[in-house]
Amino acid sequence: MIDLRSDTVTHPTPAMREAMANVIVGDDVYGEDPTVNKLEQDAADVFGKEAGLFVASGTQGNLVSLMTHCQRGDEIIVGDQAHIFKYEQGGSASLGGIMPHIIPVQPDGTLAFEDIEHAIRGNNIHFPRTRLVAIENTQGTLGGLPLSPQYMQDIADLAHKHGLILHVDGARIFNASTHFNVPVADMVTDADSVTFCLSKGLCAPVGSIIVGSKEFIAEARRVRKVLGGGMRQVGVLAAAGLIALHDMTKRLQVDHDNAHYLAESLSEVPGVDVMSSATNFVFFLLKEDAKLSPAEFVTEMKSRKIILSPYPGFERKFRCVMHYWIDRERIDTVVTNMKAILS
Ligand SMILES: *Cc1c(COP(=O)(O)O)cnc(C)c1O
């Protein structure tokens, strides 16, 4: 099967399976799993932060971060296309009592600074307290858009000027740092917390990491525990995470080149309009006058062992995500099959 739906479908690499089988573990709730401790410290070092915390998922990482930074009744400023707002069940509101203040995400994936400043509440007994700004990099729903190191510095400065915390949902931050060819630490120099996913394009089977100050991470460890995220011999996962962090982050340019290659190849497929291509994402539209309906197209591709599905909430928009298990040969197979059934 060639699965293009997401980089979350990536299986662990052979090196990861080997490492997982042989890893030394301990009870991580007691802080005694050496492999988890190493992964957390290595991640902190790579990001230029003091400490790290392994969590079960990106969703848990964002929730733990927001609940650690905010009190009940606090407000966060977040984009209307952000994963935190759209795809996390409103968990920070339902579980943390944190109110989202939504501002539009711009077509380039950024939040406009005048929108942020406009959203900040004054000191008034009627208002919730604005506590935090959350920014996503790469911006997922609009197409894996990378936000520049300069923008990231500017938004951190803006937040801090107003006494606010900056949280970065960096699920795919290594794709952004690869795009700009800078160390990931330079993307988040003054961010107060960052979450990133080991389990997407980095191929680990499970897990995300939060990085930040020692104080923040100590508090986040408590919040993770109450959310049921205190895990035991989790070194079996951290072993894969170490390979994700140190090795898989170095090969993402291949995925970006492949996305570019796919987008170019798709432009020759009848009934298809390439909408965008950035980092490891390609979006295309199955046109109204295409030979097949979206449902027929999906079924026909599946019978050819290629998995694609319309992007959630859209009928004709498809997302293809490049990752370790998609090479040029597979891209050629996808394009050949699409030409065959859409011509
Ligand atoms: C995938 C993703 C998350 C959540 O990660 P899960 O591990 O799926 O919970 C958060 N933010 C962004 C931008 C993502 O792409």
Indicate whether residue 145 lines ligand 1 (CB < 6 A). Answer: no
Q: Give pLDDT, residue 53.
A: 98
Helix axes 294-303, 328-342, angle to 10 degrees: 130
Mean pLDDT over residues 292-319, rounded? Answer: 95
Would 8 be classed as within a structural domain? Answer: no
Show the CA angle centred on residue 18, arms to residues 232 and 242, nearest 5°: 60
Cα within 13 Å of Cα(89), Cβ side: 7
- Give 59 Cα–ligand 1 centroid separation in angstroms: 6
Task: With a cut of 90, say whether residue 244 has pLDDT above it.
Answer: yes
Is the pTM for the entire model greater than 0.85?
Answer: yes
Q: Give pLDDT, residue 303.
A: 97
Would 3 be classed as within a structural domain? Answer: no
Mean pLDDT over residues 300-327, rounded? Answer: 95
Would 7 be classed as within a structural domain? Answer: no
Q: Cα(276)–Cα(285) distance, rounded to whole angstroms?
A: 10
Indicate whether residue 171 lines ligand 1 (CB < 6 A). Answer: yes
Is residue 113 domain-shared with residue 140, that is, in the same domain?
A: yes
Is residue 27 domain-shared with residue 141, that is, in the same domain?
A: yes
Indicate whether residue 167 lines ligand 1 (CB < 6 A). Answer: no
Is residue 192 domain-shared with residue 104, that is, in the same domain?
A: yes
Q: Cα(71)–Cα(78) distance, rounded to whole angstroms?
A: 16
Indicate whether residue 140 lines ligand 1 (CB < 6 A). Answer: yes
Relative to the CA of 199, which ligand 1 atom is closest?
7
CA-nearest residue for atom 6, ligand 1, is 58
Q: Give pLDDT, residue 66.
A: 98
Averaged pLDDT of the chain: 97
Residue 94: give the domain boundaries.
13-246
Q: What DSSP assignment string belongs to 11-78?
A: PPPHHHHHHHHH-----GGGT--HHHHHHHHHHHHHHT-SEEEEES-HHHHHHHHHHHH--TTEEEEE
Q: Cα(186)–Cα(209) distance, rounded to whole angstroms?
A: 18
Would 197 be classed as within a structural domain? Answer: yes
Indicate whether residue 136 lines ligand 1 (CB < 6 A). Answer: yes
- CATH number of 262's domain: 3.90.1150.10
Would 144 be classed as within a structural domain? Answer: yes
Is residue 74 domain-shared with residue 164, that is, in the same domain?
A: yes
Task: With a cut of 90, say whether residue 258 has pLDDT above it.
Answer: yes
Is residue 217 domain-shared with residue 298, that is, in the same domain?
A: no
Paired with 113 in beta bridges are none
Mean pLDDT over residues 223-234, rounded? Answer: 98
> How confident is the model over 268-289, as pLDDT tens digits?
999 999 999 999 999 999 999 9
Cα within 13 Å of Cα(110), Cβ side: 16
Q: For the chain, how many structural domains are there in total?
A: 2
Mean pLDDT over residues 148-162, rounded? Answer: 98
Beta-carbon count within 10 A of 1 CB: 9
Q: Give pLDDT, residue 85.
A: 98
Last residue of a domain, one of 246, 270, 286: 246
Would 189 be classed as within a structural domain? Answer: yes
Indicate whether residue 57 lines ligand 1 (CB < 6 A). Answer: yes
- Give 171 Cα–ligand 1 centroid separation in angstroms: 6
Paired with 2 in beta bridges are 306
- CATH number of 241's domain: 3.40.640.10
- Give 83 Cα–ligand 1 centroid separation in angstroms: 7
Task: With a cut of 90, say whether residue 312 has pLDDT above it.
Answer: no
CA-nearest residue for atom 10, ligand 1, is 58
Residue with tokens 């400490």: 51
Last residue of a domain, one of 246, 277, 310: 246
The preferred substitution site among 83, 195, 199 for testing ligand 1, maximizing ligand atoms within 8 Å of CB, is: 83
Report the candidate in 206, 116, 127, 200 with the shortest Cα–Cα distance to residue 165. Answer: 116
Is residue 218 domain-shared with residue 295, that is, in the same domain?
A: no
> How confident is the model over 45-104, as pLDDT tens digits?
999 999 999 999 999 999 999 999 999 999 999 999 999 999 999 999 999 999 999 999
Is residue 223 domain-shared with residue 314, that is, in the same domain?
A: no
Q: Give pLDDT, residue 199.
A: 96
By percentage, how much of the chain surpasses pLDDT 70? 100
Q: Give pLDDT, residue 197.
A: 98
Is residue 231 domain-shared with residue 284, that is, in the same domain?
A: no
Would 4 be classed as within a structural domain? Answer: no
Is residue 129 domain-shared with residue 65, that is, in the same domain?
A: yes
Instruction: Say which amino acid occupies 209.
Output: I
> How confident is the model over 25-62, as pLDDT tens digits?
999 999 999 999 999 999 999 999 999 999 999 999 99
Is residue 314 domain-shared with residue 213, that is, in the same domain?
A: no
Last residue of a domain, one of 246, 271, 292: 246
What per-residue string of b and e applies to 45-76 under the rule 16 or more CB within 10 Å gives b? ebbbbebbbbbbbbbbbbbbbbbbbbeeebbb
Q: What is the 3-state secondary structure (H, E, C) of 68-116?
A: HHCCCCEEEEEECCCHHHHCCCCHHHHCCCCEEEEECECCCCCECHHHH
**Torsional sign, CA 26, 27, 31, 35:** positive
Would 33 be classed as within a structural domain? Answer: yes
Is residue 81 domain-shared with residue 213, that is, in the same domain?
A: yes
Is residue 134 domain-shared with residue 78, that is, in the same domain?
A: yes
Indicate whether residue 242 lines ligand 1 (CB < 6 A). Answer: no
Task: With a cut of 90, say whether residue 313 has pLDDT above it.
Answer: no
